[in-house]
């Protein structure tokens, strides 16, 4: 087997690439042996990639392990290459414009936080707000606007999604990061040939919509389940429930059975879908033809249309669809009754809303200038705003000593005597590394969803808590430490 190697001091590095024409795979794999340590770096060509590090008793065993890794990749089509000769493939960033609002009044903005870059990612939880931007920054804030923490991810954030307790960020490097623990870690690694547009996740099952109109479904072990190609490109909408996955693209919305066994329905929408929302019985599609349309989940029938005055960038609902909100390309925000009656239109006071979410009579939006804004959407506040009376928006500043967390492929170690929590173990099963629970009181045959970067054969870890999923596996809550 031929290899391209560079040597500096006692380090030996092998660099491989797999690049296919026509928009196929475009990724690298690099292995470095430094004495008894093997470091692996991999990802999309042109990106920094992810890292894994393993230690071995002797240099000979480290070299043997590295040779096995290289051999596996070569058999999959990787070949020796010179780093930097192939350029990175472009990542699609949504091209948006924002005109001044034509609304006669401005929405009652309570506070505004400027993230520093264009942002699409937003999630509003019961206890805090999350916002992510194209610089890779994710901030958490209290509902009063206080900035609590910052996560720095390697690439720009496409979107933020929640799955019960767990918060995930889909990034331009094709990685989906779990932000639920003390330190973020890579939970899912999307194929390098998939240009992520949007994500949704339910019970650990990740659903990815992409530039080409593709839909890819990945399970809790980061393993491919199924995929479909819808009729239209630029799939900016994916929503999932227990019955189906709802895929919005240039030609409308297509619903697929949750197990991937077939298409349930397809409904052409009035214009290309640019954003999607869901409630228990309906999905909502915002389009470039100035409307939001409500589609019945069971049949795909269009139940209501909500007409705006410009291209719709985002939408959300309140009270199971009793109110429908929309943000357009002209810096306006709308509220409709369930039947499509427009109740009000107001200016955002700071750009067009690219994502939004409603909670407890407040509408949270992230706008084209990268700001997260909180609007008082109560009837009294809206009535006052329409008559010209609005509060002075408070500009939130980030604290100088703000805690900042970055992804890590390593974890802290703890001795068995000092450890407290639930013990899990990493084992080899049919050529794959799985994690099972060792502590009593748990189902030992169930897998534990666990960061791949830190899995080591035979290693044991202690976790703060485990939560059982309906899919028959456990999910980690809290800090992970390795037992030594």
Rounded CA-CA distance 451/177 in Å is: 10
- In which residue ranges of the chain is CATH 2.130.10.10 found? 109-396
- Greater confidence, 374 or 398? 374
Tens of pLDDT along 417-429? 777 899 999 998 8
The model's confidence at residue 2, banded by pLDDT at 50, 70 and 90, is very low
Question: Which residue from 195, 164, 158 is spatially nearest to 177, judged by alpha carbons?
Answer: 158
Give the per-residue pLDDT at 193.
63
CA distances for 177 relative to 46, 52, 122, 216, angstroms: 19, 15, 15, 17
Q: Does domain 109-396 have CATH number 2.130.10.10?
A: yes
> Above 70 in pLDDT, residue 159?
yes
pTM exceeding 0.85:
no
What 3-state DSSP class applies to 80?
strand
Do 309 and 345 form a contact (C-beta atoms < 8 A)? yes
Rounded CA-CA distance 424/429 in Å is: 15
Q: Which of 5-9, 52-56, 62-66, 338-342 has the lowest mean pLDDT?
A: 5-9
- CA-based max dimension of the chain: 78
Mean of the pLDDT values across residues 333-343? 97
Question: Which residue from 86, 68, 91, 71 is spatially nearest to 27, judged by alpha carbons?
Answer: 86
Fold assignment, 5-80: q64v53_bacfr protein fold (2.20.140)
The model's confidence at residue 192, banded by pLDDT at 50, 70 and 90, is low
> Above 90 in pLDDT, residue 8?
no
Q: Which of 47-51, 221-225, 371-375 has the lowest mean pLDDT?
A: 47-51
Do 296 and 317 form a contact (C-beta atoms < 8 A)? no
Tens of pLDDT along 295-332? 999 999 999 999 999 999 999 999 889 999 999 999 99
Q: Residues in the chain, how many?
A: 484
Rounded CA-CA distance 148/398 in Å is: 9
Tens of pLDDT along 209-250? 998 899 999 999 988 899 999 999 999 999 999 999 999 999
């Amino acid at each position: 087997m031929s290899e391209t190697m560079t040597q500096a001091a006692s380090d030996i590095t092998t660099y491989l690439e797999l690049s296919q024409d026509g928009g196929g795979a475009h990724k690298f794999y690099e292995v470095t042996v430094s004495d008894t340590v093997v470091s692996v770096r991999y990802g999309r060509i042109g990106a920094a990639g992810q890292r894994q590090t393993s230690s071995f008793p002797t240099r000979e065993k480290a070299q043997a392990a590295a040779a096995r890794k290289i051999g596996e990749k070569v058999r999959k089509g990787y070949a020796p290459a010179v780093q930097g000769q192939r350029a990175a493939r472009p990542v699609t960033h949504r091209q948006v414009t924002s005109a001044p609002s034509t609304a006669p009044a401005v929405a009652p903005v309570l506070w505004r936080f400027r993230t520093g870059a264009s942002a699409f990612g937003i999630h509003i939880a019961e206890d805090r707000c999350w916002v992510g931007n194209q610089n890779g920054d994710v901030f958490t804030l209290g509902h009063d606007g206080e900035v609590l923490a910052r996560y720095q991810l390697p690439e720009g954030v496409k979107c933020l999604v929640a799955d019960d307790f767990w918060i995930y960020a889909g990034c331009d490097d094709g990685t989906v990061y779990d932000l639920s623990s003390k330190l973020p870690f890579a939970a899912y690694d999307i194929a390098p040939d998939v240009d992520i547009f949007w994500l949704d996740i339910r019970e650990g099952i990740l659903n990815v919509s992409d530039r080409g109109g593709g839909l890819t479904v990945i399970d809790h072990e980061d393993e491919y389940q199924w995929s479909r190609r819808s009729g239209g490109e630029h799939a900016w909408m994916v929503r999932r429930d227990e019955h189906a996955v709802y895929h919005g693209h240039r030609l409308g919305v297509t619903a697929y059975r949750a197990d991937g066994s077939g298409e349930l329905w397809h409904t052409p929408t009035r214009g290309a879908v640019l954003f999607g929302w869901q409630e228990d019985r309906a999905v909502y599609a915002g389009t470039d033809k100035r409307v939001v349309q409500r589609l019945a989940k069971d049949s795909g029938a269009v139940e209501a249309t909500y007409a705006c005055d410009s291209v719709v960038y985002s939408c959300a609902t309140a009270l199971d669809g009793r109110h429908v909100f929309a943000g357009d390309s002209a810096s306006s925000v709308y509220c409709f009754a369930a039947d499509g009656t427009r109740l009000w239109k107001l200016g955002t006071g700071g750009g067009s809303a690219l994502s939004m979410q409603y909670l407890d009579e407040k509408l949270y939006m992230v706008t084209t200038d990268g700001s997260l804004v909180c609007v008082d959407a109560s009837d009294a506040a809206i009535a006052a705003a329409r008559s010209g009376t609005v509060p002075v928006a408070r500009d939130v500043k980030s604290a100088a000593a703000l805690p900042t967390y970055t992804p890590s492929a390593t974890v802290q170690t703890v001795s068995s005597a000092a450890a407290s929590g639930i013990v899990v173990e990493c084992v080899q099963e049919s050529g794959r590394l799985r994690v099972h629970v060792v502590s009593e009181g748990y189902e030992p045959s169930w897998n534990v969803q666990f960061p791949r970067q830190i899995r080591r054969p035979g290693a044991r870890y202690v976790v703060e808590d485990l939560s059982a999923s309906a899919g028959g596996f456990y999910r980690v809550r809290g800090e992970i430490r390795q037992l030594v």
